[in-house]
Amino acid sequence: MEKQMTLQKSGTTRRYYLDWLRVGVILTVFFYHSTRFFNLGEWHVKNPTTYWGVEVFEQVLATWMMPLCFVVSGAAVFYALGRGGAGSFIKDKILRLFVPLVVGIFTHSAWQVYLERVSHGQFNGSFFEFYPHYFEGIYGLGGNFGWMGIHLWYVEMLFVFTLIFLPLFLLLKRGIGQRVLAGLGRVLAVPGVVFFFLVTPIILVLEFVDGDSFWGMDVFGGWGILSHAWFFISGFVIASSERLQQSIQRLRWVWLIAAILLTATQVGYVLGHPGGLKQTPLMAYLWILAFLGLASKYLNFNTPRLQRANEAVLPFYILHQPVLLSVGYLVLQWAIPDPLKWAIIAASSFAMVIGLYEFLVQRFNLVRFLFGMKVLPRVMQPAGQPALPQIAQ
């Protein structure tokens, strides 16, 4: 059994529960995408038969899944800004986010668009024959070029948010801004106030921003750009206050019970009135606060397994959807029951992603760089022997 390395000084050491949440939500994204072959909505590759029940289940996940990603990312930015200057922070984000995004746009994204065109009967030929056509028009607007990286829209959005809000975050980390943020944290620690603070801006966005506009359309994981921006900011605010985090932790079971009851009510209504489940900021933040409270209470420790998984999160996210689509494109043509199709797609895709990471991505510095990982230093070897990369800690 791996020895758990517990948190010693919560004020100065890493919040390991955020790492657990990051790993958990990315695994949830994988599971979510493994079922998208079978839901009612459009996707790159689809099963001949789709299911309304899968659609409802996915909408429940979409209510909190990507919002939680942005909340955790916003909290991570708060702690990262305390470890160095703005220049080193920006450099890190360019290497960690922008480089794999650009690489993905011209590789993984092109492959996914190709599979979509072939599976929908819109192109007939090899990937290399398709590739020149990838640059014809914009994907989502009748063309092919995936400027948002297809599933890497999250990476692109996170990179842009980080740069846009960096001046504000730096202001709030020092001087009068720090005092304002501390005062806000004390106010939000009052039970119930935090919920009003978190939910109200997104309610206003949903009410006053045109849902058909670029800023309001909910095609990014079920939410719009402005909503995700607020999820990101709220993560920063939550991380800034120990008192607020303690309040969220104390009320963890309240948040969880309320989230379950509201979700059950919504699903029950949908079952009696077939249609789409209404995703609300109320439901989203109930789940987010529940996960934050439970994780900070029970998962604030480190293990070697967590270290390895946390390092693999970004490469896993980058690889998971191209692999799922590749496997699904083949398996969905088999004359077998749909549950078996899903099981084969999910299990084999997961194994392939892990295999690609273990034997290709993490072992070679060039590939690590292209996937946003830190390049490993070279270990000095005796003369005549090749240098070997150090094992990541």
Indicate whether 348 pLDDT > 50. yes
- For 88, the token pair is 């080193």
- For 84, the token pair is 């160095």
Q: Can you spell out the DSSP letters for 115-135?
A: HHHHHTTS--S-HHHHGGGGG
| Pairwise CA distance, residues 393 & 386, whole Å | 21
Stretch 6-15: mean pLDDT: 53
Q: Which of 56-65, 209-218, 380-389 has the lowest mean pLDDT?
A: 380-389
pLDDT digits (tens, 9 = 90+) for 110-164: 999 999 999 999 999 999 999 999 999 999 888 999 999 999 999 999 999 999 9
Say which amino acid occupies 168.
Answer: L
Predicted confidence at residue 65, as pLDDT, reads 96
The H or E element that residue 234 is part of is helix 225-239
pLDDT digits (tens, 9 = 90+) for 249-278: 999 999 999 999 999 988 887 776 666 667
Instruction: Give the other-Cβ count within 10 Å of 179's Cβ.
Output: 11
SS3 category, 6:
strand
Q: Which of 31-45, 276-290, 320-334 has the lowest mean pLDDT?
A: 276-290
Residue 50 CA from chain centroid, whole number = 25
Can you name the residues that pair with 6 across neighbouring β-strands? 301
Predicted confidence at residue 390, as pLDDT, reads 40
Can you name the residues that pair with 378 across neighbouring β-strands? 389
Cβ neighbours for 157, distance < 8 A, ≥ 6 positions apart: 220, 225, 228
Angle between helices 225-239 and 193-208 (to 10 degrees): 160
- Record the pTM: 0.90
The DSSP symbol for 95 reads I
SS3 category, 283:
helix
Predicted confidence at residue 120, as pLDDT, reads 94
- For 275, the token pair is 């249609």
CB 45 within 8 A of CB 115: yes
CB 78 within 8 A of CB 171: no
- The maximal CA–CA distance of the chain, rounded, in angstroms, is 75
Predicted confidence at residue 273, as pLDDT, reads 67
Predicted confidence at residue 41, as pLDDT, reads 87
Burial status of residue 141 (CB atoms within 10 A of its CB: 0-12, 13-18, 19 or more):
exposed
Stretch 176-193: mean pLDDT: 90
Residue of higher predicted confidence among 267 and 311? 311
Indicate whether 5 pLDDT > 80. no
Predicted confidence at residue 220, as pLDDT, reads 80
| Pairwise CA distance, residues 200 & 118, whole Å | 44
